[in-house]
Structure 1
Amino acid sequence: MSSAPLLKVDNLTTHFHTSRGDVQAVRGVSFDVRPGEILGIVGESGSGKSITCLSILGLLKANGEVVDGSADFEGKLLTGLSDKQLRTIRGDDIAMIFQDPMTSLNPTLTVGEQLIETIMAHKPVSRSEARKRALELFDLVKIPSAASRLDNYPHQFSGGMRQRVMIAMALTCDPKLLIADEPTTALDVTIQRQILLLLKDLQEKLGMAIILITHDLGVIAEVADRILVMYGGMVMETGDVYDVFESPQHPYTTGLLHSIPDVRSHTKQRLTPIPGSPPDMLRPPEGCPFAPRCPHAIQQCLEAMPPLFERPNAKPTVHEARCWLHHEEAPKALQSIFDAPEVSNG
């Protein structure tokens, strides 16, 4: 795996302009993605996960605007490009799988027709060549009886098979980076695992990088190399997936881990939900956005935004957490809050 970033995001800040004021959806997010790795972005709904990636691709709604920061892909600055310029990158170099495959597919066209149109829009090929490529992609994503299923409509596919179609469409131009936004939403556990293993298999076969957006930590544990924990439009914790799961360094991450049942346990378990509600992004707090919900918050947490503190001796990648409890003058007795249970992905 190359050490040079494929995608580098620096201080990305995105607002949505509304009649009530600006919704500060993404606040100073920075991260990078290296070639051939899977980065998992996790957090509850409204934490800014999807908006971060839509901002990178210039797919925001009309009232959305990147007001600060940058996204650099292979040395090319994405933020500030026109939609026409971004269209040469979207699909060809960076592809995205959206959350709901049923609403993303046109119900009035066969899936084969939609796939063929996508191929012809990006490649100078004939219709017969595009159909041949569509069959290859169906085989790649393991859709059985590919030749006959190309002529089926979306409603004739199960949820898992529709998701495979969306993955096939995203792969039409052999992208270097695939962004998968909640790819297992509304699928049962067995199908979820199949889709995750398919993505992992494709990543290994094609050598592409993947950003996997989810609210499910079990999904991240299954396939990711590194993890980015987001809350209130900000990065709360980041590091190697094993470091973060085995030794979480932020109370929010710990709370997420404690809210997951261990399916291998043979004893009754009491889950610990995180109390309270996410912050109002029209008026985000001055301090740590998680402080009002954090049982370990100190006065400093409410008054000032903490920086990302680096955990010493974290391997193989940097492990950082945005929490004042890691300051050298913080109460050391509170460090035990970072103990986390073993996480099972089922």
Structure 2
Amino acid sequence: MSLLEVTGLTTAYHTRRGRVQSVRGVDLRLERGEILGLVGESGSGKSVTCMSLLRLLKRGGRIEGGTAYFEGEDLLAMPEGKLARLRGDRVGVVFQDPMSALNPTMTVGRQITEVLLRHRRMTRAEARARAVELFGLVRIPSPAARIDSYPHEFSGGMRQRVMIAMALACEPALLIADEPTTALDVTIQRQILALLKELRDRLGMAIILVTHDLGVIAETADRVMVLYGGQVMEEAPVADLFAAPRHPYTRGLMAAIPDPRRAGEALAPIPGTPPDMRAPPPGCPFAPRCPEARRQCLDPSPVYEVSAAHRARCWLLDPSAPRVGWGEDPILRETTR
């Protein structure tokens, strides 16, 4: 049995301006000790997918369908009290902005010891000793002294390490890292990613890594899922995805990555804008921006198997798909613009 098995996850936000379909039928599987990368533009559904699993949605968010089995139990049907005990214990979370996630009025050591006191039968002295140990684990210098510091006394990279230490306090089976390197310089980013991989190898936990940066995925993840418009566009082992991306959206993301070998050349951005998820386009959500779109893209897109571990949701993979360019199909052009 996989550590985490998600089927048909559907989440929407009900706002004054209408129902926003944030996640639309996402299937996800995660094995023990595996690092799974979720990648896509802002608004593609990455973070909402993860927060749906722990039912930590913002106001107006509702899980409208699907199942999510973690260690054999459905997170979406689990009583709130039991789920609250699981958060921070079997599942740890590194939130996107550590400065807003940490309480500025409490020392970082106290914030970690509270996690241990809640989920483990420890005395305060034992919890403090464990917090010092965790600081050393995530390589915070002088851990015994820094444990009594406040969040504002740390740099951005050190605050992120504090968040990782807090998430690891109870040695979770699953760590969800939501944009753990956002706003960090390249050197600190590499250190954080190397730390996550080292901790995975040492503790044997699985990691879901949420990012918009394919470079982070290439450096860290074992397998990757590309999301767009609340749906999984492509899923593959990292090496396979970078060697032969099969969805036009994945290829567009890769083409937009700066390449030092092409210094002086203009980047190739994806034209257009992400869809309005109050009324997503019919069929493939990427069709209005896709240079290879054609009439079949207006119908629901099946998932095609490129190999046993590589799948993509695109009509281009159908053996009978004609090679029709964007400008050659006026019906599609008029319907999706």
Question: TM over 0.5: same fold?
Answer: yes
2:321 match: 330
**Superposed CA RMSD:** 1.2
The reply to whether residue 295 of structure 1 matches residue 291 of structure 2 is yes
- Tell me the distance in 2 between the aligned counterparts of 1:86 and 1:271: 45
- Tell me the distance in 2 between the aligned counterparts of 1:12 and 1:133: 36
Aligned pairs for 1:260-279 (under 5 A) are: 260-263=257-260, 265=261, 267-279=263-275
Amino acid at match of 2:127: A
Using the TM superposition, name which of 61-70 and 275-284 deviates more: 61-70
Q: Which runs of 4+ in 1 moved over 3 A?
A: none
* Displacement of 1:180: 0.1
* Displacement of 1:267: 4.0
- Tell me the distance in 2 between the aligned counterparts of 1:259 and 1:322: 21
The reply to whether residue 321 of structure 1 matches residue 312 of structure 2 is yes
Aligned pairs for 1:203-242 (under 5 A) are: 203-242=200-239
2:252 match: 255
Superposed CA offset, 1:218-251 (max 9, x none): 0000010000000000000001101011100000
Amino acid at match of 2:319: E
The reply to whether residue 10 of structure 1 matches residue 7 of structure 2 is yes
Equivalent residues of 2:252, 2:269 under 8 A apart: yes
How many equivalent pairs are there?
A: 325
SS in structure 2 of the partner of residue 252 of structure 1: helix
* Displacement of 1:20: 2.5
- Tell me the distance in 2 between the aligned counterparts of 1:328 and 1:247: 17
Unaligned runs of 5+ in 2: 326-337
Equivalent residues of 1:99, 1:181 under 8 A apart: yes
Indicate which of 104, 108, 116 corresponds to 2:105: 108
Aligned pairs for 1:34-73 (under 5 A) are: 34-73=31-70
The reply to whether residue 200 of structure 1 matches residue 197 of structure 2 is yes
Amino acid at match of 1:268: G
Superposed CA offset, 1:24-48 (max 9, x none): 1000000100000100000000000
Superposed CA offset, 1:47-95 (max 9, x none): 0000001000011123111111110001101112232121121111111
- Tell me the distance in 2 between the aligned counterparts of 1:10 and 1:321: 16
SS in structure 1 of the partner of residue 180 of structure 2: coil
* Displacement of 1:266: 6.5
- Tell me the distance in 2 between the aligned counterparts of 1:61 and 1:266: 42
- Tell me the distance in 2 between the aligned counterparts of 1:273 and 1:133: 47
- Tell me the distance in 2 between the aligned counterparts of 1:243 and 1:332: 23
Using the TM superposition, name which of 187-196 and 53-62 deviates more: 53-62
2:187 match: 190
Amino acid at match of 1:210: I
1:306 match: 301
The reply to whether residue 286 of structure 1 matches residue 282 of structure 2 is yes
* Displacement of 1:203: 0.2
SS in structure 2 of the partner of residue 84 of structure 1: helix
Aligned pairs for 1:130-145 (under 5 A) are: 130-145=127-142
Using the TM superposition, name which of 107-116 and 126-135 deviates more: 107-116
Superposed CA offset, 1:290-318 (max 9, x none): 000001100111x212111111xx3xx51
- TM-score scaled by structure 1? 0.92
- Tell me the distance in 1 between the aligned counterparts of 2:324 and 2:2: 38
- Tell me the distance in 1 between the aligned counterparts of 2:17 and 2:162: 40
Aligned pairs for 1:130-169 (under 5 A) are: 130-169=127-166
Superposed CA offset, 1:182-204 (max 9, x none): 00000000000000000000000
2:170 match: 173
* Displacement of 1:140: 0.4
- Tell me the distance in 1 between the aligned counterparts of 2:270 and 2:201: 36
Q: Percent identity?
A: 60
- TM-score scaled by structure 2? 0.94
Equivalent residues of 1:261, 1:269 under 8 A apart: no
